Amino acid sequence: MVFDVVIIGAGAAGLMCAAQAGYAGKRVLVLDHANKAGKKILMSGGGRCNFTNMDTAPHHFYSQNPHFCISALKRYRPEHFVELVERHGLEYVEKAPGQLFCADSAKEMVRLLLTECEWASAEVSLNTRIERVERCGEAMRLQTSRGKIDAGMLVVATGGLSIPTLGASGFGYELARQFGLEVLPTRPGLVPLTLSDTWKARASALSGVSVPVAVHHGGYRFEEPLLFTHRGLSGPSMLQISSVWEPGEALTIDLLPHSEARELLLTARQETPKRLLSTWLGEHFPKRLAQALIEWYPEGQTQIPLAQVSNEVVDTWAERLNGWTLKPSGTEGWRTAEVTMGGVDTDAISSKTFEVKGLPQLRFIGEVLDVTGRLGGYNFQWAWASGVACAQAL
């Protein structure tokens, strides 16, 4: 079998690239070892796929080379993808500012992409194992469970390592190494954090409690909800910070992100001197968390009227509430991570065409590259934009 373009990976980036290349008149084949296309899309956004973010900008992405994503993101913008979604009559909702989700189900997004491939005459072959890839003059040759395939151009869109049960594999990284590219260290991103010992037990007791917080770490600040879980901390704020957190480091969590706890406490002491500190805590936090704070800090003078609470204790509470510091023991790992930090080093890749410099018949797109978005639809926007940019240059 001979194709102009063979794409490994029938995920977001691969399918988008396939359709665009097909429309450009190329003979396209997409190969995937999974039994279904777009498995991650189906799982995404709680089953409703947060397919883009209207505010997408390069600073929403992590990469050793922060400039790499600029060109593709500029050429294929969220409005372009929304246009495609509307052309297919797919209904969507803006659940949070800029974050667009399928109104009904992520299945519709996979259907859209497969329809695009069909209209563009791009073939999709599932349940196909790729055994070997080699350069064959100006082309590429693949040995697969379906036989030998020759490709004028090979596009690697195998994604990252997160959630192996959805088809994730390190195959893209192996290919990159085989052709002399560097793969930057990978680690799970957008992943819940775990705690150990006392703090694990404390979080577990609060499992299901969600509070608005601002988490700070390494110059980053994310103001979004925190969710206590049986094993530690999750919710958007923790997923966001997990992408910039390294084992052994501590996080600072502001439990009152819009207030100075010290000012609030001093005012309360003056205006309602008879009120107990425990009552004050109950007014500012969900009941279970307020109760937990009282238990965690027995020295906190919570059962005496505010008038008798010393300045020193006020300062201690203020520090704790605006700057609760704790050290996660780890993350939930690849099993639940939404993305992979690191990946194929973009230094060896053209940001215009996504070809490997010096080997234009080999290209890498999507999450397999060292470009990782924050939470909020940015990762799909990168998949679409890199897929389109690559296809336009085929």
What is residue 251's three-state secondary structure? Answer: strand
Q: Residue 167: left (phi > 0), alpha (psi -120 to 50), or beta?
A: left
- Chain positions 87 to 106 lying near ligand FDA, rule: CB under 6 A, are none
Name which position in 12, 114, 318, 388 contacts ligand FDA (CB under 6 A): 12
**14 vs 236, which CB is nearer to ligand FDA?**
14
Check residue 40 for interaction with ligand FDA (CB under 6 A). yes
Cα torsion for 186, 192, 197, 198, to the nearest 10°?
140
108, 116, 338, 370: which one contacts ligand FDA (CB under 6 A)?
Answer: 338
Q: Locate tokens 């691969």: which residue?
A: 14
Centre a 10 Å sphere on the Cβ of residue 144 and count the other Cβ atoms it contains: 19
Residues 229 and 374: beta-carbon distance below 8 Å: no
Q: Does 113 bind ligand FDA (CB under 6 A)?
A: no
Among 5, 6, 7, 8, binds ligand FDA (CB under 6 A): 8
- Distance, CA of 302 to chain centre: 40
What the block records as the tokens of 55 is 């505010």
Task: Verify binding: residue 109, ligand FDA, rule CB under 6 A.
Answer: no
Q: Determine, following the binding rule CB under 6 A, whether residue 235 of this chain makes contact with ligand FDA.
A: no
Nearer to ligand FDA, 44 or 237 (CB): 44
- Shortest separation between residue 13's beta carbon and ligand FDA, angstroms: 3
Considering only residues 360 through 389, tell me which ones interact with ligand FDA, judged by CB under 6 A: 366-367, 377-380, 383
What is the SS3 assignment for 89?
Answer: coil
Please tell me the distance from the alpha carbon of residue 62 to that of residue 342, in angstroms, as a whole number: 8
Question: CA-based angle 109:336:202, to the nearest 5?
Answer: 135
Q: First vs last Cα of the chain: how many Å apart?
A: 19
x-or-dash string of contact with ligand FDA, 137-166, rule CB under 6 A: --------------------xxx--xx---
Tell me the closest approach of the beta carbon of residue 336 to ligand FDA, in angstroms.
Answer: 7
Tell me which H or E stretch contains 156.
strand 147-156
Binding test (CB under 6 A) with ligand FDA, winner from 5, 6, 7, 13: 13
Binding site for ligand FDA (CB under 6 A): 8-14, 31-34, 39-40, 43-45, 49-50, 130, 157-159, 162-163, 167-169, 171, 338-339, 366-367, 377-380, 383
